[in-house]
Amino acid sequence: MLLHLSTWTEVEAYLKHSQAIILPIGSTEQHSPMGLIGTDAICAQESARGVGDATGALVGPTIHVGMALHHCDFPGTISLRPTTLIQVIKDYLTCLTTAGFTKFFFINGHGGNIATLKAAFAETYGHLADLRLPNASLVKCRLANWFTCSSVYQLAKDLYGDQEGDHATPSEVAFTQYFYPEAIKEVHLSAEVCSENKIYSAADFRRRYPDGRMGSNPALAKPEHGKQFYELAVKELSNYYLEFVAGE
């Protein structure tokens, strides 16, 4: 059940049996000459929809722009500052809590969002308490990264070994290829790729990783791999979601 394809009366009916919602969040950032700029948002969105279908959960609109300031020297990247993203999350959750939701399960597709999301959760708990909303004490937020699912990690290791890397990885590129085969890019990539895993300013990032890759070889990606990653992520995230909803 997708929030943006529902009516307010349908959401009201949903709240009578569940106060949980899935919120996908990704990023709009470069993923090398081979990966789509929307990779992180696509992976989060499709994982969330799969989990929603598997569990009957309501899925909110995808937050397409995240914290990707370090990628901003590559054309096409759009980023929010950490303080802006925190405010966005606070506003989302304040509206949804006012409506009656109390459990927020974020499916994330971008490592650069993690620290900011955790800070946003802490800010939101305090903000809701200050507003004295009647259900504020019941609000719980959980962060789940599709790419850190143990089954996904193991498959990436089996398929790509040390060529998985840390950014513009073959696993995430394969995921997007599965859903958008018409957008597969055939690009010659240099055999030389930096794998320092250091992130500072945008200019420094572009200097260290001139084509945007961090130790990865996305040329290894295949759509059939993406199908496997998707199915593993949905299965593991669905179990994680159900445990979260059932827990105290």
For residue 166, what is the DSSP state?
A: S
- How confident is the model over 205-211, as a mean pLDDT? 96
The pLDDT of residue 56 is above 80:
yes
- Per residue in 153-165, pLDDT (tens digit) is 999 999 999 999 9
Q: What's the mean per-residue pLDDT of the chain?
A: 97
More confident residue, 191 or 101: 101
For residue 32, what is the DSSP state?
A: T
pTM reported for the whole predicted model: 0.96
Cα distances (Å, whole numbers) of residue 153 to 44, 157, 233: 16, 6, 10
Domain extents in the chain = 3-239
- Which pLDDT belongs to residue 227? 98
- Which pLDDT belongs to residue 22? 98
Edge-to-edge strands, sheet with 20-25: 58-59, 20-25, 103-108, 140-145
Name the band, by pLDDT with cuts 50, 70 and 90, for residue 248: confident
Distance CA 105, CA 90 (A): 14
Distance CA 136, CA 125 (A): 7
- Which pLDDT belongs to residue 195? 85
- Which pLDDT belongs to residue 192? 84
Q: Give me the percent of the chain exceeding a pLDDT of 70.
A: 100
For residue 61, what is the DSSP state?
A: -
The pLDDT of residue 55 is above 80:
yes
Q: Bridge partners of 107?
A: 24, 144
- Which pLDDT belongs to residue 51? 98
- Which CATH number fits the domain 3-239, given the four candidates 3.30.1490.20, 3.40.50.10310, 3.20.20.70, 1.10.287.610? 3.40.50.10310
Distance CA 242, CA 239 (A): 5
Distance CA 162, CA 118 (A): 29
- State the burial class of residue 241 (Cβ atoms within 10 Å of its Cβ: 0-12, 13-18, 19+): buried
Q: Closest Cα to residue 114, out of 143, 141, 151, 93?
A: 143
Distance CA 184, CA 173 (A): 9
Q: Closest Cα to residue 20, out of 44, 69, 56?
A: 56
**Cα separation of the two ends of the chain:** 24
